[in-house]
Amino acid sequence: DQQVKQNSPSLSVQEGRISILNCDYTNSMFDYFLWYKKYPAEGPTFLISISSIKDKNEDGRFTVFLNKSAKHLSLHIVPSQPGDSAVYFCAAREAGSYQLTFGKGTKLSVIP
Amino acid sequence: DVKVTQSSRYLVKRTGEKVFLECVQDMDHENMFWYRQDPGLGLRLIYFSYDVKMKEKGDIPEGYSVSREKKERFSLILESASTNQTSMYLCASSTNDRGQYFGAGTRLSVL
């Protein structure tokens, strides 16, 4: 039973446009959410996070939105750049836990 | 910057061999994790440790064991490697606060 779902295995976006990556979760105990970016043959790197007490967190070109009632979060990248081409993983953590539950990832391709 | 170092980037082993994957972190983190990543399956937790000599099973512990004798080092052991253990193995560490920091990964091929 997947608690964190990334329903789009892949996404293609033109350079300069907005990329929107989506993530849904089922566990209402999750209180902290993260996005990781992974290039081939490298480990995932932390990108941005959001606590459940917020609905938006912004860091440069990256913004994460959280809709708790819908149990949905999204990562917006504006403007998209070719170097953003990677696999993006959504992850969530329960209150009081240090374990992360990961989605299966979305492969983003930014076309020059 | 946090550094998580995995001892090998690529390994090729034979079926039945005992395999050790080593991971070292330099930030005095309490928690360490081992994942495997396979296409279409995302990151799956094998084992984790929240303190020296402590270990907990993750989602897919079968065929694996771990060792944490020192706080900075967390080892993953494949007692008898099998072809279905061919995968990318990722080590991570964290404090009890926020996210996890990952190593570069070890691509293991079992022939």
Q: Note down pLDDT in tens along chain B; length 111 residues.
A: 668 999 899 999 999 999 999 999 998 999 999 999 998 888 999 999 999 999 999 999 999 999 999 999 999 999 999 999 999 999 999 986 667 899 999 999 999
| Residue owning tokens 């996890």 | B100
Is B99's CB within 8 Å of A9's CB? Answer: no
Structure token digits, residue A26: 């089922």
| Coil, strand or helix at A51 | strand
Per residue in A6-28, pLDDT (tens digit) is 999 999 999 999 999 999 999 99
Pairwise CA distance, residues B17 & B34, whole Å: 20
Give pLDDT, residue A99.
86
Is B48's CB within 8 Å of A99's CB? Answer: yes
Amino acid identity, position A71 = K
- In this complex, the residue of B48, B90, B99 whose CB is nearest that of residue A43 is B90
Give pLDDT, residue A41.
80
* A chain contacts of residue B40, beta-carbon cutoff 8 Å: 9, 104
Pairwise CA distance, residues A80 & A76, whole Å: 9
CA distance to A68, A95, A104, per residue, from A24 (Å):
10, 18, 11
- In this complex, the residue of B40, B48, B107 whose CB is nearest that of residue A41 is B107
* A chain contacts of residue B99, beta-carbon cutoff 8 Å: 34, 46, 49, 91, 100
Per-position DSSP letters for B16-72, written without gaps between them: T--EEEEEEESS--SEEEEEEEETTTEEEEEEEESSTT--EE-S--TTEEEEEEETT
* A chain contacts of residue B45, beta-carbon cutoff 8 Å: 99
Give pLDDT, residue A2.
83
For residues A42-65, give the mean pLDDT: 94
| Coil, strand or helix at A23 | strand
CA atoms within 13 A on the CB side of B3: 4
Pairwise CA distance, residues A46 & B13, whole Å: 31
Per residue in A61-104, pLDDT (tens digit) is 999 999 999 999 999 999 999 999 999 999 999 988 888 999 99
Is B102's CB within 8 Å of A44's CB? Answer: yes
Closest chain B C-alpha to A104 CA, distance in angstroms: 4
CB B89 within 8 A of CB B105: yes
Residue of B nearest to A39 (CA): B104
CB A84 within 8 A of CB A78: no
Closest chain B C-alpha to A74 CA, distance in angstroms: 18
Q: What is the dihedral of CA B24, B27, B29, B34, to 10 degrees?
A: -30
